[in-house]
């Protein structure tokens, strides 16, 4: 009992001490301030207010588990590292342990007491946080959150704490305690905390369905299990709001082991402590000194000893010392050298550097491109994608090393000796900063070396374009090194102000956390972003053409703050302990008018730069000036013009004179409107941006249109009768993108030296016909989605994209600098160069739906009626892309409709945004898509993306879908279906199956149970539109037969091409039905896949094989635990199915054999099967050829044990 009391007293003392530390309250403040928003942001995304119905509660046990598992890790890791690890080190340093040892307190009681104190303190804060969170949701009940707040249940809050938070709290406290007793170095604790923090947060997202038990078992937070079991596949609002979270044995064992490991670490720590003390290792600095020797008996007896006089000078050699205080630079060098020597000796460094390299490499490896593909490991991409992780991780390291460096003299008791030296304070601080910054630079160098090795290896394997130092120098050198210098200066100032390592750590972590949150939410601007995280989207075609100026000013801003921070730090550095009674006087003296003026002078460059960036950003293309007019536009016009239907545009003539260096274009052009409707128009509205002055003409005469807020309304001289035309002309100059950006991040269209890409889809450089509903709309004024009646597709349906109801001809005259190539829609009519300017004319030979312009400095790869315009260095995938474009043109012409245009072009633009867009004859690709896709013979990703975009020439362009539910599936879903067909045609079954399976996985993982609508009702949901859309077309092909479906699609495209009635899915089904051999089966198929939402999920049960004579008989049951009824094959197989490909096509292995049967279990039904095989089956699988879209395909596979 006494033992328990002593242990409890240690815990209580520790908790009281912790409560007195400002850093504890700082972290608690962070927990409350960010924890509640986190629980809102991290709420389960099931349900959608835009389609009605209930939403998943933020207060359900699932939502709380998700939040708490994350929050306990994010906050617990650092808090517990500080509160469990550092006090023990401090006790060592101060020699307290030796004193404690002389009391009845045992080593075990001390260690367990410290542990209990740290855990207890964290749990107090945790419970306060939970209480405040519950109070916020259930008592305050903010109005906007009310639909997401369920009934109050204590269990919903406490169960996640017990299951997810508590085990990791025990681990996160126990292990630092052990490290503290093993190494007695705070840096080791923080570096190790950083290791498991970063590795554990890595588990938060990637561990998903299908993840191994091992990965789930290792996950400290438990979030991986939660993802795998409940969250990766949407279970629906009702489930999340009412079901109970049931841990499985894997989770229970994992949580138990994590908790036990934490407790075991404490037990080992206690043992270690015992051993240390027995060896006398716990004697602190103060106690290393023996006490003064007692007076001897003789001394006591004697009177005062004889005074000692100096020995004769000759007895001592003169040392000849002189003292000349070091120069400022010399002192900095001396201190920096000492710091560096100290840093390289620290073991944390050797844990940390490999960690950084690992994290950086992991950051590079995940797929970044389309279809989940990886991009090529180019130096620029590697440098840019690693910047965020490298920045934060090294800043974290600098935090610990800088604070420890500034505090180490106090910690070692050397402060007085050190401070009594004549080294200037500035030299001390700068020397330490230089030492730490140099270490950061060395680590950066190691990371660079690792990247270089990786890139060289990847290059040898064909995954890279080769190493080049320039991108690293341009990104890491320009962005990160100034960030590290600024951060070191800021930390120095923080330490000088706060005068304690705990407070400095707390403040530093808080700043890092806020910066990370700012980056995560993309809310940072060029003024506030100091870390460089997320600064650069790399483009080999010209990274700095977009944001070079604000980036440079931003770096100068933070570099210019460095002298100010250091001057303040020097003034406040606690070299001499201040007298508190004179504090006010002290500050008054140091910051007197003259001092303040000097500080102001130091701050002036930063203020000026911040003002330039702030004002420039506000006035630039992302600023208020650029968007204010949009709100006015919406306010002034939405009520009157939203439903106004425009006549068709039948002809566009454009004369565009680009000056990329100025980001400008001089625009002259005309739109000819053809009234294709059966009523007359008296006026025509046209939307134009802030491009004043605009000179307008109507039918060739000058005109002054009316209208408001940039909606120009042309009152026609005579009503535009059906079949009549009117030509509106315009002339103006546009700067696009004008001014500076507010924050890093690329626009979708731009005129830059690195390239030009512009289109008619959004208001950028040419007027748009009519009122544009999306302009000026944000979260505040977004209208509810339009409700379409079931028969909305009957009669004439308006086009989803484009301006032309029927025929649009475009003539584009483009003038660019001589060395640019400029592409527009149609065929090239002329190409002339004069006075350093190139002028090309593109003219459509067949109608198109819209137009775009792309220009850059290209090499060209010409194919068979195709051409690829690419950056000279981006040759890696060009052959494959060219082959895909040729194949697409050839086969899609054969399958769907002959390609009517002369040349199909594909041009590259800088990767400020990663998208591809298909205009008739003129496809544009971001460099990250296709050109830098890591495409191998096994994946053919470059082929896939080209096939998809090329298919849009037919599905999206020739056939322009109608506005309304399901319309976009005719564009995007059909494009993916066409890509599947082309894969099958060119590469064979294997790659089509892999492509299909990838699309299936993407759809399953991203579908939202309650939100998903039948395809004919689908308005949104990328993966339903793209992936399920393609899959359903593929299954429809199996249903009606390939040739029947293609014939139906040809008929469908022929009917609706150049038709003012734009089709949606119902129109397509109506045409294709005529080609189906079995109308009833066709109707049954479309009923469940187009008009309903189903997804089969097959599971194999009771699978067994027996030998009967010469054959093997496999029996089993297929159960459909999902929805929908499909005839599906079941196969017994032996051997590996695919061998090496031959001439780009998949080849079946010679030793592969299978035997098949079919079953058709409906929802909740089971179907027994019997397969007779002339070989010994090794496995059984449902749907061996990937023909039926289904949930959890991996669960419908069975392997016989040997």
Partner 1 sequence: MLEITDLVKIYPGPVAALQGVSIEVPKGMFGLLGPNGAGKTTLMRIVAGLLEPTSGTVHFNGEDIVADPRLIRRQLGYLPQDFGFYPHLTGESMLRFLLVLKGVQAPGGLKHLAAELLDRVNLSYAAKRKVKGYSGGMRQRLGIAQALAGDPGLLIVDEPTAGLDPEERLRFYRLLAELAEDRTVLLSTHIVEDISVLCPRMAIISNGRFVADTTPSEARGRLAGTIFQGMVERERLAEIDRDFRVTQGILVEGRHRVRIHVPQGGAPPDGFDAAEPTLEDAYLLLAQTNGEGNGSGTSS
Q: How far is CA 638 from CA 630, 649, 683, 761, in A?
A: 11, 22, 17, 19
The nearest distance, CB 587 to partner 1, in angstroms, is: 13
In three-state secondary structure terms, 70 is helix
Q: Does residue 347 bind partner 1 (CB under 8 A)?
A: no
Residue count of the chain, please give it. Answer: 1202
Options 104, 280, 320, 1174; binder of partner 1; rule CB under 8 A: 320
Tell me the residue ranges of DSSP E strands in 241-312: none
* Only segment of 210-218, 295-303, 754-762, 811-819 that touches partner 1 (CB under 8 A): 295-303
Pairing, β 711-720 against β 706-708 = antiparallel
Is 102 near partner 1 (CB under 8 A)?
no
For position 416 contacting partner 1 by CB under 8 A, the verdict is yes
Binding of residue 154 to partner 1 (CB under 8 A) = no
**Interatomic CA distance for residues 740 and 738, integer angstroms:** 7
What's the CA gap between 918 and 958, in Å, rounded? 11
- Confirm or reject binding of residue 418 to partner 1 (CB under 8 A): yes
Residue whose entry in the numeric block shows the structure tokens 């004002």? 615
Q: How far is the CB of 417 from partner 1 (least distance, A)?
A: 5
Distance CA 350, CA 355 (A): 9
Query: Contact region for partner 1 (CB under 8 A) — 325-333, 360-368, 880-888, 1040-1048?
Result: 325-333
Q: How many degrees, rounded to 5, is the angle at CA 995 between CA 989 and CA 1001? A: 130
584 near partner 1, judged by CB under 8 A: no
Nearer to partner 1 by C-beta: 319 or 783? 319
Bridge partners, residue 728, by sequence: 671, 698
Does 643 bind partner 1 (CB under 8 A)? Our answer is no
Our finding on whether 417 is near partner 1 (CB under 8 A) is yes
322 touching partner 1, by CB under 8 A: yes
Judged by beta carbon, residue 422 or residue 690, the one nearer partner 1 is 422
Residue 592 found at the interface with partner 1 (CB under 8 A): no
- 2 vs 324 by CB, closer to partner 1: 324
Q: Which of 580, 584, 594, 639 binds partner 1 (CB under 8 A)?
A: 580
419 in contact with partner 1 (CB under 8 A): yes
Of residues 333 and 438, the one with the C-beta less far from partner 1? 333
CB of 430 vs partner 1, minimal distance in Å:
14
511: tokens are 């700043």
Stretch that binds partner 1, among 303-311, 824-832, 1022-1030, 1081-1089 (CB under 8 A): 303-311
Distances (CA, A) of 1015 to 717, 1030, 1037, 1089: 46, 11, 16, 7
Q: Using the rule CB under 8 A, is 326 a contact of partner 1? A: yes
Give me the least distance between CB of 181 and partner 1, in Å please. 17
Task: Supply the minimum distance, in Å, between the C-beta of residue 185 and partner 1.
Answer: 11
Binding to partner 1 by residue 295, rule CB under 8 A? Answer: yes
Report the residue from 135, 422, 774, 1162 that binds partner 1 according to the rule CB under 8 A. 422
Q: Is 321 in the site for partner 1 (CB under 8 A)?
A: yes
| By the rule CB under 8 A, 305 interacts with partner 1 | yes
Tell me the HSE value of 149 on the side-chain side, using a 13 A CA sphere: 15
Does residue 795 touch partner 1 according to CB under 8 A? no
Nearer to partner 1, 139 or 308 (CB): 308
**Minimum distance of partner 1 from residue 268's CB (angstroms):** 24
DSSP for 1085-1148 reads HHHHHTSS-----EEEEEEEEEEETTEEEEEEEEEE-SS----EEEEEEES-SEEEEETTEEEE
* 13 vs 338 by CB, closer to partner 1: 338
Shorter beta-carbon distance to partner 1: residue 95 or 563: 95
Handedness of CA 593, 595, 596, 601 (dihedral sign): positive
Q: Does 310 help bind partner 1 (rule: CB under 8 A)?
A: yes
Closest separation in Å from C-beta 753 to partner 1: 52
Report yes or no: 1068 and 1131 within 8 Å, Cβ to Cβ: no
The two tokens of residue 1 are 């009992």
286 binds partner 1 (CB under 8 A): yes
* Position among 449, 457, 470, 578 found at the interface with partner 1 (CB under 8 A): 578
- Spatial separation of the C-alpha atoms in residues 430 and 332, rounded to whole Å: 6
- Helix (H) / strand (E) containing 1182: strand 1179-1182
CB of 324 to partner 1, least distance (A): 5
Which of the 8 DSSP states describes residue 959?
B
> Kind and range of the H or E element at 659?
strand 648-659
C-beta of 246 vs 300, nearer to partner 1: 300
* Maximum CA extent, the chain: 132
Q: Dihedrals φ, ψ of 519, to 5°? A: -70, -40
The verdict on 497 binding partner 1 (CB under 8 A) reads no
- Token readout for 978 is 């066409």
Stretch that binds partner 1, among 210-218, 285-293, 594-602, 797-805 (CB under 8 A): 285-293
Q: How far apart are CA 705 and CA 687, in angstroms?
A: 11
- Residues 2, 20, 279, 289: which binds partner 1 (CB under 8 A)? 289
Q: Establish if 304 lies at the interface with partner 1 (CB under 8 A).
A: yes
* 329 contributes a contact to partner 1 by CB under 8 A: no
Give yes or no for residue 306 binding partner 1 (CB under 8 A): yes
CB of 586 to partner 1, least distance (A): 8
Dihedral angle at the C-alpha atoms of 543, 548, 552, 553, nearest 10 degrees? -150
Range 374-413, binding partner 1 (CB under 8 A): 408, 412-413
DSSP state at residue 661: G
Among 102, 309, 784, 1106, binds partner 1 (CB under 8 A): 309
Residues 6+ apart with CB under 8 A from 725: 650, 672, 673, 674, 675
280 in contact with partner 1 (CB under 8 A): no
- In the complex with partner 1, the residue whose CB is nearer, 581 or 594, is 581
324 scored as a contact of partner 1 (CB under 8 A): yes
Of 236 and 574, which CB lies nearer to partner 1 in the complex structure?
A: 574
Neighbour-count burial for 302-328, b at 16+ CB within 10 Å, e otherwise: eeeeeeeeeeeeeeeeeeeeeeeebee
Sorted by sequence, the CB contacts under 8 Å of residue 73 that are 6+ apart come out as 168, 172, 197, 200, 201, 220, 221, 223
- Smallest distance from the beta carbon of 427 to partner 1, in angstroms? 9
> Contact between 579 and partner 1 (CB under 8 A)?
yes
* Collapsed DSSP state (helix, strand, coil) of residue 204: coil
With CB under 8 A as the rule, give the number of residues binding partner 1.
Answer: 60
User: Cα 31 to chain center, whole Å?
Assistant: 23
870, two tokens? 């690419």
According to the binding rule CB under 8 A, does residue 20 interact with partner 1? no
From 541-549, 573-581, 666-674, 900-908, span contacting partner 1 (CB under 8 A): 573-581
Say if strands 648-659 and 809-817 run parallel, antiparallel, or are unpaired.
parallel
Q: Does 294 interact with partner 1 (rule: CB under 8 A)?
A: no
Close Cβ partners of 1169 (under 8 Å, ≥ 6 residues apart): 1114, 1115, 1116, 1117, 1118, 1130, 1157, 1159
Backbone angles phi, psi at 500, to 5 degrees: -160, 145
Residue 345 in the binding site for partner 1 (CB under 8 A) = yes
285 interacts with partner 1 by CB under 8 A: yes
Taking CB under 8 A as the rule, does residue 276 contact partner 1?
Answer: no
Give the Cα separation of 207 and 816 in Å (integer).
Answer: 50
Q: How far is the CB of 30 from partner 1 (least distance, A)?
A: 29
Is 342 an interacting residue with respect to partner 1 (CB under 8 A)?
yes
Tell me which residues touch partner 1 (CB under 8 A): 285-286, 288-293, 295-296, 299-300, 303-311, 313, 316-317, 319-326, 331, 334-335, 338, 342, 345, 408, 412-414, 416-424, 575-582, 586
């Amino acid at each position: 009992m006494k033992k328990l009391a002593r242990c409890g007293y240690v815990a209580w003392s520790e908790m009281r001490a912790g409560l007195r530390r400002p850093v504890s309250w700082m972290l608690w403040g962070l927990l409350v301030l960010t924890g509640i928003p986190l629980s809102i942001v991290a709420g389960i995304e099931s349900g959608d207010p835009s389609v009605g119905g209930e939403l998943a509660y933020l207060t359900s046990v699932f939502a709380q588990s998700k939040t708490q598992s994350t929050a306990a890790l994010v906050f617990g890791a650092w808090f517990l590292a500080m509160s469990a690890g550092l006090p023990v080190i401090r006790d060592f340093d101060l020699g307290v342990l030796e004193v404690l040892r002389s009391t009845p307190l045992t080593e075990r009681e001390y260690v367990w007491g410290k542990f209990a104190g740290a855990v207890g303190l964290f749990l107090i804060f945790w419970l306060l946080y939970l209480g405040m969170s519950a109070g916020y949701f259930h008592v305050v009940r903010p109005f906007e959150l009310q639909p997401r707040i369920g009934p109050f249940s204590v269990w919903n809050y406490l169960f996640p704490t017990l299951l997810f938070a508590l085990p990791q709290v025990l681990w996160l406290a126990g292990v630092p305690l052990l490290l503290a007793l093993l190494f007695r170095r705070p840096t080791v604790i923080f570096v190790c905390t950083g290791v498991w923090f970063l590795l554990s947060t890595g588990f938060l997202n990637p561990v998903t369905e299908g993840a191994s038990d091992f990965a789930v078992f290792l996950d400290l937070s438990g979030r991986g299990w939660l993802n795998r079991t409940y969250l990766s596949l949407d279970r629906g609002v009702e489930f999340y709001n009412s079901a109970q979270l049931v841990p499985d044995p894997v989770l229970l064992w994992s949580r138990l082991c994590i908790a036990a490991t934490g407790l075991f670490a404490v037990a080992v720590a206690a043992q270690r402590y015992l051993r240390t003390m027995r060896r006398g290792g716990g004697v602190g600095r103060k106690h290393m000194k023996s006490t003064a020797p007692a007076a001897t008996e003789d001394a006591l007896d004697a009177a005062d000893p004889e005074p000692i006089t100096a020995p004769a000078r000759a007895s001592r050699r003169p040392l000849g010392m002189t003292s000349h205080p070091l120069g400022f630079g010399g002192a900095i060098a001396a201190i920096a050298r000492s710091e560096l020597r100290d840093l390289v000796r620290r073991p944390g460094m050797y844990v940390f550097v490999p960690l950084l390299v690992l994290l950086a490499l992991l950051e590079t490896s995940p797929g970044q491109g389309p279809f989940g593909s990886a991009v090529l490991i180019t130096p620029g991409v590697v440098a840019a994608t690693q910047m965020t992780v490298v920045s934060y991780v090294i800043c974290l390291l600098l935090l610990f090393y800088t604070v420890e460096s500034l505090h180490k003299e106090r910690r070692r008791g050397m402060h007085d000796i050190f401070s009594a030296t004549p080294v200037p304070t500035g030299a001390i601080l700068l020397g330490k900063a230089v030492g730490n910054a140099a270490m950061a630079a060395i680590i950066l160098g190691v990371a660079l070396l690792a990247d270089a090795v990786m890139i060289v290896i990847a290059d040898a394997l064909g995954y890279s374009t080769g190493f080049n130092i320039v991108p690293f120098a341009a990104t890491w050198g320009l962005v990160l090194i100034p960030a590290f210098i600024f951060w070191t200066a800021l930390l120095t100032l923080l330490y000088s102000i706060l005068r304690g390592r705990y407070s400095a750590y707390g403040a530093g972590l808080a700043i890092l956390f806020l910066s990370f949150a700012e980056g995560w939410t993309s809310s940072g601007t060029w003024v506030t972003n100091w870390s460089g995280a997320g600064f650069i989207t790399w483009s080999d075609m010209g990274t700095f053409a977009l944001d070079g100026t604000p980036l440079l000013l931003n770096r100068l801003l933070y570099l210019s703050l460095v002298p100010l921070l250091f001057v303040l730090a020097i003034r406040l550095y606690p070299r001499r302990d201040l007298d508190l009674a004179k504090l006010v006087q002290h500050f008054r003296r140091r910051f007197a008018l003259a001092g303040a003026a000097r500080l102001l002078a130091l701050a002036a460059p930063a203020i000026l730069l911040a003002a330039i960036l702030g004002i420039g950003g506000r006035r630039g293309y992302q600023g208020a000036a650029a968007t204010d007019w949009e709100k006015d536009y919406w306010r002034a016009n939405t009520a009157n013009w939203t439903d106004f239907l425009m006549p068709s545009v039948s002809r566009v003539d454009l004369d565009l004179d680009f000056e990329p260096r100025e980001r400008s274009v001089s625009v002259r052009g005309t739109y000819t409107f053809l009234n294709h409707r059966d009523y007359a128009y008296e006026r025509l509205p046209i939307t134009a941006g802030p491009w004043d002055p605009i000179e307008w003409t109507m039918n060739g005469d000058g005109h002054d249109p009316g209208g408001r807020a940039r909606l120009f309304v042309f009152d026609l001289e005579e009503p535009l009768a059906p079949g009549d035309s009117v030509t509106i002309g315009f002339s103006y100059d546009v700067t696009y993108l004008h001014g500076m950006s507010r924050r890093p991040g690329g626009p979708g269209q731009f005129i830059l030296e690195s390239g030009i890409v512009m289109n008619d889809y959004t208001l950028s450089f040419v007027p748009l016909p009519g009122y544009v509903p999306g302009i000026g709309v944000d979260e505040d004024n977004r209208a509810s989605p339009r409700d379409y009646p079931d028969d909305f597709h009957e009669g004439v349906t308006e086009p989803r994209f484009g301006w032309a109801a029927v025929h649009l001809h475009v003539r584009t005259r483009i003038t660019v600098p001589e060395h640019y190539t400029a592409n527009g829609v149609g065929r090239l009519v002329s190409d002339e160069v004069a006075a350093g300017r190139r002028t090309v004319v593109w003219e459509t030979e067949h109608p198109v739906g819209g137009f775009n312009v792309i220009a850059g400095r290209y090499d060209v790869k010409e194919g068979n009626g195709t051409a690829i315009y690419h950056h000279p260095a981006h040759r890696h995938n060009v052959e494959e892309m060219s082959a895909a474009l040729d194949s697409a043109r050839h086969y899609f012409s054969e399958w769907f409709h002959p390609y009517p245009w002369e040349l199909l072009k594909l041009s590259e633009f800088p990767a400020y945004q990663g998208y591809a867009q298909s205009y008739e004859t003129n496809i544009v690709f971001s460099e990250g898509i296709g050109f830098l896709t890591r495409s191998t013979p096994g994946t053919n990703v470059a082929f896939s993306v080209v096939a998809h975009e090329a298919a849009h020439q037919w599905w999206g362009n020739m056939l322009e879908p109608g506005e309304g539910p399901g319309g976009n599936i005719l564009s995007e879903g059909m494009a993916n279906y066409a890509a599947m067909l082309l894969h099958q045609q060119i590469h064979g079954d294997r790659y089509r199956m892999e492509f299909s399976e990838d699309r299936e996985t993407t759809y399953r993982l991203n579908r939202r149970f309650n939100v998903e609508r039948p395809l004919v009702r689908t308005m949104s949901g990328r993966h339903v539109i793209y992936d399920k859309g393609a899959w359903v077309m593929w299954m429809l092909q199996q249903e009606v037969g390939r040739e029947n479906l293609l014939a139906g699609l040809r008929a469908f495209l022929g009917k609706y091409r150049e038709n003012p009635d734009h089709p949606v899915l119902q129109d397509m089904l109506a045409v294709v039905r005529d080609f189906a051999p079995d109308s009833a089966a066709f109707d049954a198929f479309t009923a469940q896949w187009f008009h309903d939402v189903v997804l089969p999920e097959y599971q194999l049960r009771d699978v067994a094989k027996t030998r009967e004579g010469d054959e093997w008989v496999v029996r089993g049951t297929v159960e459909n635990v999902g929805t929908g009824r499909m005839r599906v094959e079941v196969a017994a197989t032996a051997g590996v199915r695919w061998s090496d490909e031959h001439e780009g096509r998949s080849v079946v292995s010679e030793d592969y054999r299978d035997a098949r049967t079919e079953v058709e279990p409906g929802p909740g039904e089971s179907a027994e099967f019997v397969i007779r095989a002339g070989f010994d089956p090794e496995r059984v699988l449902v749907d061996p050829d990937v023909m039926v879209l289904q949930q959890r395909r991996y669960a419908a596979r069975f392997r016989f044990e040997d």
